[in-house]
A and B are shown apart, each in its own frame.
Chain A
Amino acid sequence: MNTNQAVVRFQLNGLAAQVPAGTSLAAALYLCGDGIARTSVSGQARAPFCGMGVCQECRVLVNAQSQLACQTLCAPGMVVESGAPS
């Protein structure tokens, strides 16, 4: 990781997290967490799959709103909840 690069600080499941500026939330799930976006109807862990906003697997809560992690850039102060039923 380039240490000169600007970082973005945010919250992931109640813990402080930081990633290089320009990192997608889908990538941040892997960098800072367990990679899991949500829990499916049948109780399975689901993770980003297509990476381009089509498959809908990477739904997470961003500031209490459901969003696709792969279509969201990490922003300073955002509160992210992953792994929840969605």
Chain B
Amino acid sequence: MIGAGIVGAACAYELSQRGRRVLVIDDGPGGATHAGMGHLVVMDDNPAELALSSASLAVWRQWLARMDSSCGYSHCGTLWIAADAEEMQAAADKQTRLQAAGIACTLLDAKALAQLEPALRKGLAGALQVGDDGVVYAPNAARWLLAQGGQSSGHTQGISVLHAQVSTIEDGRVCLSDGSKRSAPDIVLAAGLRASALCPDMPLQAKKGHLAISARYPGKVRHQLVELGYVKSAHQSSGTSVAFNVQPRPTGQLLIGSSRQFDNTDSAIEPVILARMLRRASDYLPCLGDMHIIRTWAGFRAATPDGLPLIGPHPHQSGLWLALGHEGLGVTTATATAQLIASGICASACSLDGSAYLPARLMQSA
């Protein structure tokens, strides 16, 4: 397993649960798992995304029941905020799609929304409440998954973690930067954007995002809040956009997003973008203006051209599996990704149809 972020950790955990011995190799600095918001959220921009995210949340619920409090899980649900009548119609359409997939959700009018989240600005049209969404502290969840490796399946050495940098992958072997090699019948590449350096022609693009976190204001916000306009801005393929997204963390802090930028691989904070993002957030949540922001940072989502991840065998290299390109949804979809990868490697059936996520769809030319 190359990569110890949430996707690599989930794949390693699932494989160890199925009795496989897994060596996880990671070079340390942390990618999208460490930079991101850690939301567990059903997304429904297309049927394949809805299938993957809802299957993932079902697995998360089983895993979260075993996880400890360091993983920072909060069953806060999401409120998709409608600013006007047009967005209220979008909320109703979203409700129809989610309910058809068996996801419980409730349409809230302006009054009900104001009662649930009195800190939101006056005059919003309403919201769609998705009660089973949540948030998790993904770096600790990944650590927990790796630490559990194999315990419940009785294999005491199910997962071992090697801090090292991979320089090449070839014919079932991984070459490390110190010149040593490791071999395995199956190699999974779960290194996010850094996979591009290990595998040519990887269809991945970086989408930069800024985040900010406040000091502790417990009870000020109780649900994850996302503007419905988020979907519009999140799926542009060029330009810079910001959208309102705030999460109440179990510590009482508010995690504030979001921004999207293309063709920018500099992780420095850009004050102009950060300011736009915070203005957008305080437009929805005016009390943010009186709060302390204690940290700001930027990170990168690994995006594919069609917005769906690459999960499954590499089309031209046998024994190499890809678990990449989850963009902003990698924490949510790590669990179903793990089931698809483990089912593929163990040649067993998976209740989720993984054909929409096969890497071959974007990597045809050899």
Contact residues of A with B, CB < 8 Å? 41, 56, 59, 65-66, 68, 85-86
Contact = CB atoms under 8 A, between A and B. Distances in A.
A56 B216 contact: no
Contacts of A65: 290
Contacts of A59: 215, 292, 294
B351 interface: no
Contacts of A66: 215, 291-292
A41 B216 contact: yes
Nearest to B290: A65
B216 A86 contact: yes
Among B216, B253, B295, the one with the most A-chain Cβ atoms within 10 Å of its Cβ is B216
B365 interface: no
A63 to B, nearest CB: 13
Interface string B285-302: 000001110110000000
Contacts of B252: 85
B46 interface: no
Given A41-B251, A56-B294, A85-B216, 4 more contacts: A41-B253, A56-B292, A56-B295, A66-B215
The 10 A-B residue pairs with the shortest CB-CB distance in the complex, in nearest-first order: A56-B294, A41-B251, A66-B292, A86-B215, A59-B215, A86-B216, A66-B215, A85-B216, A59-B292, A56-B292
B212 to A, nearest CB: 12
Contacts, number: 19
A70 to B, nearest CB: 13
Interface of B: 215-216, 251-253, 290-292, 294-295
Contacts of A68: 292
Nearest to B250: A41
B49 to A, nearest CB: 34
A16 B175 CA distance: 67
A65 B291 CA distance: 9
A56 B294 CA distance: 6
A11 to B, nearest CB: 22
A41 B215 CA distance: 10
Contacts of B291: 66
Nearest to B218: A85
B228 to A, nearest CB: 31
B251 A56 contact: no
A30 B295 CA distance: 25
Contacts of A85: 216, 252
A41 B216 CA distance: 9
A77 B164 CA distance: 58
Nearest to B294: A56
B249 to A, nearest CB: 9
A83 to B, nearest CB: 14
16 contacts: A41-B216, A41-B251, A41-B253, A56-B215, A56-B295, A59-B215, A59-B292, A65-B290, A66-B215, A66-B291, A66-B292, A68-B292, A85-B216, A85-B252, A86-B215, A86-B216
Among B251, B290, B291, B292, the one with the most A-chain Cβ atoms within 10 Å of its Cβ is B292
A59 B294 CA distance: 10
A41 B251 CA distance: 6
Contacts of B215: 56, 59, 66, 86
A58 B39 CA distance: 30
Nearest to B295: A56
A86 B251 CA distance: 10
Nearest to A84: B216
Among B252, B291, B294, B295, the one with the most A-chain Cβ atoms within 10 Å of its Cβ is B294
A86 B252 CA distance: 9
A56 B291 CA distance: 12
A67 B270 CA distance: 25
Nearest to B291: A66
Contacts of B294: 56, 59
A68 B215 CA distance: 11
B2 to A, nearest CB: 32
A41 B295 CA distance: 15
Contacts of B216: 41, 85-86
Contacts of A56: 215, 292, 294-295
A65 B217 CA distance: 11
A49 to B, nearest CB: 13
